[in-house]
Amino acid sequence: MGYGQPGKSAFDWDVYKNRKTALLYLHRSNTLADTILQTEDGSAFELVHSQVVSAFGDKLNDFIKENGSYIEAYHGLSTGWINTAALSQALTNPNTIEVSPETTKETKSKSSKTTTNDSHVLTRSAASDRSQPQSHKMPDFSSGRSRSLGKLKLVKLPKVNKYVLNILVECAYTGYIRTDLPSGGIWQVLEIADHYAMTEVIRACCAFLIKNLNSSNCVYFYHIGIKHRHPLQRCAWHKIRANFKYILAQNEISASNSTPRALEYVNDDQFQASSSANRGPQEEEMEQKRNNLATIKFEHFEPLLMHDKLNIDNEESIWFAIKLWCSYNLPERASRLSSLLPCMRFPRFRRGTEFSANYIWRDPLVLSNRDAQHQLAVLDRNHRDLLTSSAGSLMRDGFSLPCSANPRQLRPRVPHSILLAIGGWQQGQPTTLIESYDLNCNLWFESTKKIMIPLAYHGIEYINGVLYICGGTDGNEIVNELFTFNPVTGTCHQRASMRECRCYVSTACLENYLYAMGGHNGMQRMKSVERFDLTNEFWVPVADMNVSRSDASACVHDSRIYIAGGLNDQVIESSVEFYNQRDNTWTFITSMISPRTSFMLIPYQGTLMAIGGNNGSERLASVEQLDLATRTWSHHSEMRHRRSTFSAALVEEGKLIVVGGYNGHTPFNQVEMYDDHEHAWVVLQKIRYDRSGLKVVVVSDLPNAMEYTFLGSTAAGLAGGSVQIPGE
């Protein structure tokens, strides 16, 4: 076996120490290969071992056994690589082909797996009868000697193109699907894997899809997960639930070819026209690829709408989702309307009974459906009875809506994002306090979890599910400590300390680094900057800022760190500069209109907003906005309260919330939010304690999110609070 040197083994047995190395060696050297897999169009081929590709499953294995023809393989003792075109010609020409020295000079292609200097020369069998395969022998060539290596089976694979063949063969020998596939590549592989029932390849493809799951594809991926019974279903379901309001808005725009909520004005004829009772598999798949919520089956859609953690801004959104789903196939789905109506929590409508009377009752979907009318009447009556019988005992939330853990109709949904207010100066000293804000009921709750040490004027960043807290003061000294706080477990862990003590520090996270900028070290205000490597966990200095800054504010936009304002040793700054991580430089840009310290710089809808602070004469309510395209500042809507040493954060899209601070006389607990629709600031529920020098941070998608909300604070013992859904 083999033709090695006399007295030596034909194989290098060292390469067989482990399975992976052995398979790669066999594939690259074509040792013992017995099958040629060819694309449907005959443009490409791969030399493989049938026992290796048999791992793809019985369907492909049976196809290879039952199809194809045999050819004779020759081992020519010449040098150089086989010409791909010559081999392709051999596979399609019943006559034998002699490989001349000129045809052996072609460089090895990426798809070729031959790594030796020996040439494998192939000729196609001229026999058409598979039961008695024949082969043509090739005359000697090159050096004049060739040996027969036996017969190889040539199998043409329907539906398989060159790209997919290469990926599948690579997967067979490595056990992995490549992660650098171009756009659309994974779908080609998955289609073929599905056609040939390649279970392991399907699993690998689904695992690849999990890594590329986002709000724009989660509905389609959910259907794929269901089809293949893969954990992709569970992951996609979670993504749908977490991004429901965004997906719904896009679906409404697509369905109405207008603005969101336009469906409420669509008449019955339009609904009928937009429905299709005869969508075929291809049309259905196209709608799934468009991320259409309406493609979800009823038995999955109903529990989705019932779920406590469904991410919606208000309960009215459920009605629009029901309309979207029913109108997708009205003739078949009209009968489901009465079953979906109870998914709406009527007492939690922001517009109260007016919404039911003016929108739901008057909708063509209800007007043409007696069962739905009956169900809606029952729900309305239950709503009124509940409010009447419990008028004196019902708790009201910050929106003046009734709320309770039970019955379900009174439960506020658990928000996807939660605002945490951490530390700060409270009652004359720093605190370990954490308060959480529930967006869906406009209430603050004191958490039982605490940070490691009392802190004020510190920095905080939320990175990969963990809060990184650094610098500040504990009331006795300025600290250089860095520790992490896990909002799920409530545990704190000490990390490597900064090189400098920094109070009034500015922080930012860019790529895999946590930056600490400026601040006061107890002796002077600083312009030094250091960054923490999140992977290797150590601090290193980087380029200094152009000016010293204490109590400045920083943020990240478009892969740059912007820092503005603050105190230097002479004045309150109005200057702004940005850090370029690639060349480690700081560059000035247009200064703010007003000097500001103890303020907040927040990225907002493609701009930067400088909010509040102190200009040296007074606390500010003013806001200015930087257009990054023109690099010009302009005045913006003022806050309702003057404040400095406060904190602010962007909670989901368009919700900019400012919390606490100092009003010039005392720390206070006022909270307000910028309303993008009204172009004005609106007052929200106050935090529970007066605080300045605090930090707020948004945490999203916590598995224990309920703990920080109304349901967690008032109904910690609630059992079975959430509906069990398919795939979860």
DSSP string covering 674-699: EETTTTEEEEEPPPSS--BS-EEEEE
Q: Which residue has the higher pLDDT, 104 or 247?
A: 247
Q: How far apart are CA 419 and CA 430, in angstroms?
A: 20
Strand-by-strand arrangement of the 655-659 sheet: 647-651, 655-659, 671-675, 680-684
Q: In Å, what is the CA distance from 356 to each residue of 35, 305, 376, 408, 447? A: 68, 18, 9, 18, 36
Contact yes or no for 674/459 (Cβ under 8 A): no
**Residue 373: burial class (beta carbons within 10 Å; 0-12, 13-18, 19+):** middle
Match 């610098």 to its residue by tokens.
471
Please give the residue that has the higher pLDDT: either 181 or 550.
Answer: 550
Q: Residue 347: is the preceding peptide bond cis (ω within 30°)? A: no
User: Distance (Å, rounded) from C-alpha 293 to C-alpha 218?
Assistant: 10
Q: Examine the pLDDT at 727 and tell me if it is beyond 60.
A: no
What gap in Å lies between CA 581 and CA 92, rounded to an integer?
A: 56
Exposure string for 404-421, b = 16+ CB within 10 A, e = fewer: bbeeebbbbbbbbbbbbb
CA dihedral (712, 714, 718, 723) positive or negative: negative
Q: For the domain 243-410, what is the CATH code?
A: 1.25.40.420
Tokens 């257009």 sit on residue: 627
pLDDT of residue 141 exceeding 60: no
3-state helix, strand, coil in the chain (%, to 5): 30, 25, 45
Amino acid symbol at 404: S
Find, among 550, 532, 549, 552, the residue nearest to 541 by Cα: 532
**Distance, C-alpha 138 to centroid of its chain:** 57
Q: What is the DSSP-derived secondary structure letter of residue 81?
A: P
In this predicted structure, the answer to whether residue 104 has a pLDDT above a threshold of 50 is no
Q: Is 340 helix (H, G, I), strand (E, B) or coil?
A: helix
The residue ranking higher by pLDDT, 76 or 338, is: 338
658 vs 48: which has the higher pLDDT: 658
Mean pLDDT of all residues in 442-467: 96
The amino acid present at 77, given as its one-letter code, is L
Q: What is the pLDDT of residue 506?
A: 98
Single-letter amino acid, residue 296? I
Of 552 and 282, the structure prediction assigns the larger pLDDT to: 552
Query: What tokens appear for 445 in the block?
Result: 């709750």
Are 642 and 619 a contacting pair, CB within 8 Å?
A: yes
Evaluate if residue 77 carries a pLDDT over 90: no
Extract the tokens encoding 264.
Answer: 């409420």
Residue whose tokens read 């010409």: 83
- DSSP H helical ranges for 335-489: 337-340, 353-355, 364-367, 370-389
Strand boundaries in 423-477, DSSP class E = 425-426, 429-430, 434-438, 443-446, 459-463, 466-470
Cβ-count burial of 382 within 10 angstroms (0-12 exposed, 13-18 middle, 19+ buried)? middle
**Contact present, 344 and 372 (Cβ < 8 Å):** no
463 Rama class: left (phi>0) / alpha (psi -120 to 50) / beta: beta
Q: What is the pLDDT of residue 352?
A: 83
* pLDDT-based confidence at residue 149 (cuts at 50, 70, 90): low
Supply the pTM of this predicted model: 0.80
Cα angle for residues 545, 547, 550 (degrees, 5° grid): 95
Rounded to whole angstroms, how far apart are CA atoms 313 and 675?
A: 14
Write down the pLDDT at residue 183: 61
Measured CA to CA in angstroms, residue 298 lies from 212, 236, 283 at distances of 26, 17, 19
Domain extents in the chain: 13-175, 243-410, 417-714
Question: Any idea which residue has 């789905």 for tokens?
Answer: 333
Quote the crossing angle between the two packed helices 244-256 and 232-242, to the nearest 10°. 80
Return the residue matching tokens 């070729």.
Answer: 112
> What SS3 state is found at 253?
helix
Instruction: Give me the mean pLDDT over the 532-559 stretch.
Output: 97
Euclidean distance between CA atoms 375 and 367, whole angstroms: 12
pLDDT at residue 273 tops 70: no
Contact 387, 405 (CB under 8 A): no
Q: Report in angstroms the alpha-carbon separations of 101 from 1, 75, 80, 654.
A: 27, 15, 8, 70
pLDDT of residue 204: 87
Neighbour tally for 588: CB within 10 Å: 12
Whole-angstrom distance, CA of residue 502 vs CA of residue 703: 33
**pLDDT of 465 higher than 80:** yes
Instruction: Identify the weakest region by mean pLDDT among 78-87, 347-356, 696-705.
Output: 78-87
Which tokens sit at 122?
A: 């192939």
The single-letter DSSP state of residue 572 is B
Q: Taking all residues of the chain, what is their mean pLDDT, rounded to a whole number?
A: 83
Burial class (CB in 10 A: 0-12, 13-18, 19+), 556: middle
Comparing 288 with 482, the larger pLDDT belongs to 482
Q: What are the two backbone dihedrals, phi and then psi, of residue 44, each rounded to the nearest 5 degrees?
A: -150, 160
37 contacts: CB under 8 Å, gap ≥ 6: 45, 46, 48, 53, 64, 155, 157, 160, 165, 169
Q: Which amino acid is at 31?
A: T
> Cα 339 from chain centroid?
32
Q: What is the mean pLDDT of residues 619-639?
A: 97
Q: Mean pLDDT, to the nearest integer, of 700-726?
A: 68
d(CA 201, CA 176): 8
Give 459's strand partners. 470
Q: What is the mean pLDDT of residues 83-111?
A: 39
Q: Examine the pLDDT at 421 and tell me if it is beyond 80.
A: yes
Q: Hey, which CATH number is domain 417-714, 1.20.1560.10, 2.120.10.80, 3.40.30.10, 2.60.120.860?
A: 2.120.10.80
- Judged by average pLDDT, the poorest of 233-242, 258-267, 379-388 is 258-267
pLDDT tens across 639-649, in order? 999 999 999 99
In this prediction, residues 539-560 reach a mean pLDDT of 98
More confident residue, 390 or 99: 390
Angle at which helix 185-195 crosses helix 199-211, to 10 degrees, equals 150
pLDDT digits (tens, 9 = 90+) for 112-133: 333 333 333 333 332 333 333 3
Q: 254 Cβ partners below 8 Å, 6+ apart?
A: 290, 292
Phi, psi of 543 (to 5 degrees): -60, 140
Contact 586, 628 (CB under 8 A): no
Q: What pLDDT was estimated at residue 135? A: 35
| Contact in structure between 423 and 454 (CB atoms under 8 Å) | yes
